[in-house]
Amino acid sequence: MTTFRIGYLVGSLSRESINRKLVKALIRLAPDGMTFHEIRFADLPLYNRDYDADYPAEALKFKAAIQESDAILFVTPEYNRSIPGGLKNAIDWASRPSGTNAFARKPTAVIGASPGAIGTAVAQQSLRSVLGFLNAPQMNTVEGYIQFTPGLITDDGEVTVESTEGFLRKYMMEFHAHVTRVLTVLPRDG
Ligand code: FNR
């Protein structure tokens, strides 16, 4: 059985992030055949195209981490009905210079948690639009809009509500199937 290397990006930089709790739960509940590594972006400078001729080391490292992952999982909060600026900045770095977009043909999935009732739905739509432009095949269903209530997931990623645990397990099974499908059908370097 192939083991896929899944890179994940946590949209929040907060020490108390509920989205970091969520990703821990997702990793715990993932089926066999996936390994996980975080791709951090907090130290990236703000992108501008003057860097295209000579990317700084941190940006080269970030972009290489995207390229070397079989698939990318985005776990993000919603900021003002979109994704946090730091995450968008990171995506912009990996998408450039023109013709070297690291997300092209890369299987992706999006999920997020918020205390609000619609659980990051608007931010996820915004991110989906970006990923569409970047030609990154997205998991369409299952959609994961997690309304985070206090204690729903512990700091270690243990889910305390059975129905939520079952849902997140299913989400990861579908993600595994999505990655398998995309990487079976599309050439990785085509
Ligand atoms: C928020 N929050 C928020 N929540 C939401 O559901 N929709 C939104 O548009 C926003 N906007 C927003 C903007 C900014 C700048 C902040 C700091 C917060 C609240 C947000 O969901 C909450 O702080 C979460 O805890 C953020 O996720 P992390 O950082 O805990 O993972």
Mean pLDDT, the chain cut into blocks of 10 residues (190 residues total) = 95 98 98 98 98 98 98 98 98 98 98 98 98 98 98 98 98 98 75
| CA–centroid distance, residue 77 to ligand 1 (Å) | 6
Q: What does each C-alpha distance from 186 to 64, 99, 106 come to in angstroms?
A: 20, 18, 10
Residues touching ligand 1 (Cβ under 6 Å) are 12, 14, 17-19, 77-81, 114-116
Residue 167, classified by CB atoms within 10 Å of its CB into exposed (0-12), middle (13-18) or buried (19+), is middle
Q: Which ligand 1 atom is nearest residue 16's CA? A: 30
Q: What integer pLDDT is reported at residue 187 of this predicted model?
A: 60
Closest C-alpha residue for ligand 1 atom 7: 78
Whether the Cβ atoms of residue 85 and residue 78 lie closer than 8 Å to each other: no
Gap between the terminal Cα atoms of the chain: 23
Is the separation of the CB atoms in 169 and 28 below 8 Å?
A: no
The gap from C-alpha 16 to its chain's centroid, in whole angstroms, comes to: 18
Name the residue at shortest CA distance from atom 2 of ligand 1: 79
Size (the chain), residues: 190
CA torsion angle 146 69 129 144 (round to 10): -10
- The ligand 1 atom nearest the CA atom of 20: 31
pLDDT of amino acid 92? 98
pTM here is 0.97
Give the residue ranges of DSSP H helices in the chain: 18-29, 57-68, 85-95, 121-133, 162-185
Looking from the CA of residue 76, the nearest atom of ligand 1 is 31
pLDDT given at position 186: 63
Probe ligand 1: pick from 24, 26, 78, max atoms within 8 Å of CB? 78
What residue has token string 């985070």? 148
Q: How far is the CA of 114 from the centre of ligand 1 (A)?
A: 6
Nearest CA to ligand 1 atom 18: 79
Helix, strand, coil % over all residues of the chain, rounded to 5:
40, 15, 40
